[in-house]
Amino acid sequence: MAVKTFEDYFNRLKKMKSNVYINGEKVSRTDERLRPGINVIKETYDCANNPEFEDICVTTSHLTGEKISRFCHIHQSVEDLLKKQLMTRLLCHRVGGCIQRCMGIDAMNALSVVTYEMDQMLGTDHYERFKNYLKYFQENDLCANCAQTDAKGDRLRRPHEQKDRDMYLRIVETREDGIVVRGAKLHNTIAPYADEIIVIPTRFMTDKDSEYAVAFAIPADTEGVKIVARYAYQHKRKHLKAPIAKFGDAESFTIFDDVFVPNERVFLNGKSDPRQTPFAGYLALLFAHFHRHSYTGCKPAISEVLASATALVAEYNGIEKESHVKEKLSHLIGTAELVFAAGQASAYRGEKSESGTYIPDEILTNVGRRLAGEEIYNEYKILADIAGGLAATLPMEGDFYAQETKELLNKYMVRNPNISAEDQHRCFRFIENILVSELAGVMQVAGLHGGGSPQMETITMMSRYDVNSLKNIAKYLAGIEDKLPRYERPTVTPKKMLEKFRMLFKGK
């Protein structure tokens, strides 16, 4: 069985070379500031080893037939897509936020499709390389960051047009046995405590951008990689132990300061073979697509965590039966359900690509992720509204246990006399964690931009949606056309999406 334990993962981290930087210090991966994020990853290993979650978190490798973690799996069916979404939702409930491990496997799924397509069209051997890497990834139950977002410099300029050519990660040297890359990938969740960094392009590349059309995977402590981490913290607790208090997260600037990548770990190389350059955009798009589908699992969970706090604090505040409270709670529930439903429907409409990998529906995934992004601040507003100001002004935990203040604080803490002061304190301490903490601030921005900002989903969706089929309805109803053509859902299925890309590449 290739499902590993948290101890296996943590022992690997302990052995890694120190290349993580926090606030001016070079630290080991056991640094206590990274521990809250590592605790999140622990949940993914613990649940895979817990019989209660085995049907969701464990699956069978299509390569080796061995039992593996779903975080190492390439989707082989509609059921796999549904289970990935469900697993993400369940695990996010357990950590009260982002589960962080999804992006590695979203990148692997995208690579499985694109390397296969590239081999078919260009006669390269990238799919074989990828499969070898996947086997290693699955056998060791590895944890990966996907480093996609480049520094990007001037947003309106293409990579080759930037004043500083390193604003997008690029190949600076080609050797017989590999390539040397330079650049920086930003906002990299999990990178400070990941085994591997999977690098893929962030956008479509033109012929002039060939040196930027590169994808590869390397151990996170490879020579020349510098991971400058920014951790998000909670106030430390001494007395009120609670699951939410032990979780956190860290993002990084992952800097590639002339890093050697051996050929067997390179999956796209437009510099050596410019025919590969158009596949950069295809890979960028497909990763975003799989990752947005993951968002239709995690984002409902985050809405539900907010809804759970809203419902509980409404009860403690004695206002749960008020109509405006029910209305606001229903909005949170409705958003969670709609986003999840979009992801589910896109899984049901998922199609098998020629590589064997299942790809969810494009339009539905994007509308689901966009709704999540558009609603995020409204959802936090609802919780802030119902909780009142105390979530932001709650005295420090120690004062609830200090001789001089404890009785007074517990007395004035009480809203509902039937509930203990400690439980009411616990409820507001929890809301402090998810609404006004450092981590809560990061989660809000993540809810907007992670996986691509709503504007990106709009662009993806509208570049493929057939608006003419909508106009047909208006033309018929307005009497401009006599006949209304039979309505076909105006979407681009993965199969059509692949065909479109194939035509594009054949034209090259």
Ligand X SMILES: Cc1cc2nc3c(=O)[nH]c(=O)nc-3n(C[C@H](O)[C@H](O)[C@H](O)COP(=O)(O)OP(=O)(O)OC[C@H]3O[C@@H](n4cnc5c(N)ncnc54)[C@H](O)[C@@H]3O)c2cc1C
- Tell me which residues touch ligand X (CB under 6 A): 103, 145-149, 152, 155-156, 185, 187-189, 251, 442, 445-446, 449-450, 452-453, 455
> What's the rounded Cα separation, in Å, for the pair 329 and 20?
41
CB of 202 to ligand X, least distance (A): 7
CB of 25 to ligand X, least distance (A): 22
Residues 494 and 502: beta-carbon distance below 8 Å: no
CB of 76 to ligand X, least distance (A): 25
Question: Three-class SS of residue 422?
Answer: helix
Burial state string for 426-462 with b = 16 or more CB within 10 A and e = fewer than 16 = bbbbbbbbbbbbbbbebbbebbebbbbebebbbebbe
Residues 212 and 160: beta-carbon distance below 8 Å: yes
* Per-residue CA distances from 219 to 69, 131, 196, 439 (Å): 19, 17, 4, 27
CB of 438 to ligand X, least distance (A): 12
Q: Is 216 or 505 the residue whose CB approaches ligand X more closely?
A: 216
CB of 298 to ligand X, least distance (A): 12
Q: Is 77 or 149 the residue whose CB approaches ligand X more closely?
A: 149
Residue count (the chain): 508
Helical ranges in 123-229 per DSSP H: 126-139
Q: Is 149 or 222 the residue whose CB approaches ligand X more closely?
A: 149
456 HSE (CA, 13 A, CB side): 17
CB of 458 to ligand X, least distance (A): 9
CB of 287 to ligand X, least distance (A): 8
CB of 103 to ligand X, least distance (A): 5
Q: Is 185 or 299 the residue whose CB approaches ligand X more closely?
A: 185
Helical axes 78-95 vs 102-122, angle rounded to 10° = 150
> What's the rounded Cα separation, in Å, for the pair 257 and 356?
36
> What's the rounded Cα separation, in Å, for the pair 324 and 384?
14
DSSP 53: G
Q: Is 103 or 302 the residue whose CB approaches ligand X more closely?
A: 103
Q: Is 96 or 450 the residue whose CB approaches ligand X more closely?
A: 450
Q: Is 300 or 452 the residue whose CB approaches ligand X more closely?
A: 452
Residues 206 and 158: beta-carbon distance below 8 Å: yes
Q: Is 184 or 498 the residue whose CB approaches ligand X more closely?
A: 184
